[in-house]
Amino acid sequence: MDLKRLINGSFEHAEEVKEFFKNKDVNDRLDDGDIEGYELLLRKPDGEVQSISPISAVLFSADLPVYRNIVRDDLENRRNQILNTEEFPGNLAAYDRLLNLVKHKATVIPFVGAGFSVASGCPSWSEYIEQEALNAGLKTDIAERLKVGDHENLMDEVVVALGIDLFTRDFRSNFEGGRITPALSPSSELAGLFNECYITTNFDRVLDHCHHESMPFDEKVVGKDDTGRFLKAIYRNEKYLLKLHGNIDEPRDRVLTKNEYDKGYGEGKVDYSFPIPRTLQRIFGSFTVLFVGCSLISDRYLDVLKETYSFAPALIPDHFAIVVAPDDEAERLLRDRHLASHGITPIWFANGDWDKPEEILKLLKLES
């Protein structure tokens, strides 16, 4: 049966036709029998019974209320499964708040961390630092230092021990080249959902490549840029990428070692006369930020966020994070309190459930 001819012939309004084809995943599963309990039968005058297919198109054309009930029930089941509401009951309310912003075209700025490059073939940032620390011959308890968020000092020791040239060469070998497949990154699901400005701390180019074919960035700027171009782009609804900590091979704009962090954020405490914290303060205080692929344990951009939130918590827009939950409930409570102190509402997923961030983004796309 020609679905398009059936659907287009049954409804005069394009929105009704669009509704059917938007539900392609549900339609396919309904037609394949994966949604149990539904079968359409034609009983002929001679008593012969014949199945009618495709079920989805026939139901949509003949009994739209029933069709919509099936779609609604299926969506509710998918929400509960994807958001894992049995283990994380608070996920649903957090997700609905984020969905409401997306539906109403509010400005939501994705903040993309290294975790979103792992599926493309890049090592995780913590794994990479640990391996480089071992290569550098460091004997300290590397894993424990990473667990408590001592990335900055550990990275400084690694770069000093290896030298920046060797570190940069090794970085390119691990984060660039033919074995990296950007299309496998969940970042590809951000395109089409958030079509304006993005922020990333990543030195790799996975996010840029994910958007290059369909919706390329109009411009890429670094965090130390002092022109205010990124903020202007947000207000103008232009699509800019803010490489917050610069690029690995550009020492002038890079923020990697402790010395570079001090030059980017201030020494001892955050210095808001510097471009990076000044820009972040404006962003965090004015627009919703969605953190994805970020551990959110320790980084100086979190210091800016915490200070911005503490100054006027009632006036700060909602911020969200799709973030892995600690296995231990007591530890999860501590993490939740940590996030709350920064004005971040988590949408949790279980450790090891690495497909969940992509599924949550797909669900947002479907419902928005």
Greater pLDDT, 61 or 217: 217
Cβ-in-10-Å burial (0-12, 13-18, 19+) of 214 comes to exposed
Residues with Cβ within 8 Å of 207's Cβ and at least 6 positions away in sequence, in order, are: 112, 116, 117, 182, 185, 187, 190, 198, 200, 241
**Statement: residue 188 has pLDDT above 60:** yes
- Measured in degrees and rounded to the nearest 5, phi and psi for residue 12 equal -85, -25
Q: Which two tokens stand for residue 332?
A: 């999860």
Q: Parse the chain into domains and list their residue ranges.
A: 3-75, 93-122+180-367, 124-174
- Measured in degrees and rounded to the nearest 5, phi and psi for residue 207 equal -60, -45
Residues 243 and 204 sit within 8 Å (Cβ to Cβ)? no
CATH class of 93-122+180-367: alpha beta
Q: What is the pLDDT of residue 231?
A: 95
**Range scoring the smallest mean pLDDT among 55-59, 105-109, 237-241, 262-266:** 55-59
Q: Mean pLDDT across the chain, nearest whole number?
A: 90
Q: Which two tokens stand for residue 350?
A: 């279980």
**pLDDT tier at 176, thresholds 50, 70, 90:** confident
pTM: 0.88
Residues 252 and 264 sit within 8 Å (Cβ to Cβ)? no
Residues 207 and 180 sit within 8 Å (Cβ to Cβ)? no
**Statement: residue 12 has pLDDT above 70:** no
Interval 193-206 mean pLDDT = 92
Interval 132-137 mean pLDDT = 89
**pLDDT tier at 13, thresholds 50, 70, 90:** low
Residue 150: count other Cβ atoms within 10 Å of its Cβ: 18
